[in-house]
Chain A
Amino acid sequence: MHIMEGFLPPAWCLFWFLVSAPFVVYGMYQLRILMREKREALPLLAVAGAFIFVLSSLKLPSVSGSCSHPTGTGLGAILFGPFITSILGLIVLLYQAVFLAHGGLTTLGANLFSMGIAGPLLAYAIYRGGQKVGLNTYLTVFLAAALADLFTYVVTAAQLALAFPAEAGGFVTSFIAFAAVYAVTQIPLAIIEGAVIALTFKYIIDVRSEILVRLGVLSDAVAARLQEVKA
C-alpha cells in the first residue's frame, strides 16, 4: 500500500501530514495514560506492534498475479483503539521508509493515514459495533481485521486518485484504476489476515482474558463465556 517516495505532489504530502498529525498526538497522550495506569497491558502492546512488523514484512503473492502485504493493524486497533495503533503503524512505516526504500518520508503522512489510521478506525468501529449487537466475538475480530486491511488499500487508491485524477473521467475513473491494482490483489490477503488475527485473539483470551476485560475490550460476561467454551 505504500505510496513511493516522491510520488505524491508536495501539496498532497503536506495535506496528509496535517490530517495524520492529530491522531499521532492524541495517540501519544493515550499511550502515556496506558503506561501509567495499565502497565500490565504493555506486553500486549508489544505483541500488537510486533504483529504489524511481521505481517507488513510478508510480501505475499496473490491470485491476481501480483504481490502485496497484509497490514496487521487490526489487532492493535481492537485492543488499544485507533489512536495508539497509529503510533505502532508510524514505527513500522518509518522503518520501511528508512531502511527499505518502501514508502517514503515525503509520503509518510499519506501512508500513515491509510495504514495506521483509516484501517484501524474501521476495525475499531466494526469490533465495537459487533460486540454491541452480540455478534460472535471471533467472527467480529475476523471481520474487523480483514476489512481494515482491505480498507487501507481502498484509501490508498483514493489518495492516489485525488492526487492524479484521470484526464478523462477525473477522480472516479482514476480511483477505479488504482483500486483495481490494489484491492483485487488484497482481497485474498485480507481474508488470511483476518483468520490469523482471529486465531491470535483466541490465544490471548486463553492466556490473559483478564487484561482484555481491564482494557475494556471484552465485558466480564463475554470473557467468562469464551473461557468456558474453550474448556
Chain B
Amino acid sequence: MKYTMELAVLAVVLLFAGSFVIALNTGEHEWGGTDDQAGDVINKMTGTEYEPWADPIYEPASGEIESLFFCLQAAVGALVIGFFFGYYYRGRRINT
C-alpha cells in the first residue's frame, strides 16, 4: 500500500476530532489555555495570590491583534515548509 501512512495519520486526526463530539456533550468546559490554568494552580499550591514580579514588555492590544501575530507565526512557518518541499520535488523531477 502506497498510502498506508497517510491513511494512518488521517485516522489519528479523525479520532482526535471525533473525541470532541464526546467532550462537547459531557459537561461544561472552558477551553481556556493551560498557561492560565497553571497560574491558578500556583495560587492554590502556595495558598496566597501570586504577584508576578515582571510584566511582558509588549502585550497585544486585543484578542484580534494577538491572533494576527499567531497567524503570522504559522504563515511564515508554512511558507518556509512549502517553499523547500516544492524546491525539493522540482529538483527530483528534473533529475529523474
Contact pick for A164, options B32, B45, B85, CB 8 Å? B45
A95 to B88, CA, bound (A): 28
Confirm or deny: B22 has a beta carbon within 8 angstroms of a beta carbon on chain A.
yes
Give, as a whole number of angstroms, the nearest-CB distance from B48 to chain A. Answer: 10
In the complex the two chains form, is A58's CB within 8 Å of B45's CB? no
In the complex the two chains form, is B38's CB within 8 Å of A54's CB? no
Total A-B residue contacts, Cβ distance less than 8 Å: 172
Assess A182 versus B38: contact at CB under 8 Å? Given A65-B31, A207-B88: yes
In the complex the two chains form, is B89's CB within 8 Å of A66's CB? no
Confirm or deny: B94 has a beta carbon within 8 angstroms of a beta carbon on chain A.
no
Interface of A is mostly: helix
Confirm or deny: A46 has a beta carbon within 8 angstroms of a beta carbon on chain B.
yes
A195 to B13, CA, bound (A): 9
Which residues on the A side are within 8 Å of B92 (C-beta)?
207
In the complex the two chains form, is B54's CB within 8 Å of A5's CB? yes
Assess A104 versus B54: contact at CB under 8 Å? Given A63-B22, A185-B34: yes
A132 to B79, CA, bound (A): 35
By a beta-carbon cutoff of 8 Å, the part of chain A in contact with chain B is: 1-7, 9-10, 43-44, 46-47, 49-59, 61, 63-68, 92, 95-102, 104-106, 138, 156, 160, 164-167, 173-174, 177-178, 181-182, 185-186, 188, 191-192, 195-196, 198-199, 202-203, 207-208, 230
Which residues on the B side are within 8 Å of A95 (C-beta)?
73
Query: Smallest CB-CB separation from B29: which chain A residue?
Result: A65
19 extra interface residue pairs, beta carbon distance < 8 Å, beyond A3-B38, A4-B39, A63-B22: A4-B38, A46-B80, A47-B81, A49-B80, A50-B78, A53-B76, A54-B77, A57-B74, A58-B74, A59-B33, A65-B31, A68-B34, A99-B69, A104-B56, A164-B42, A173-B45, A188-B19, A202-B5, A207-B92
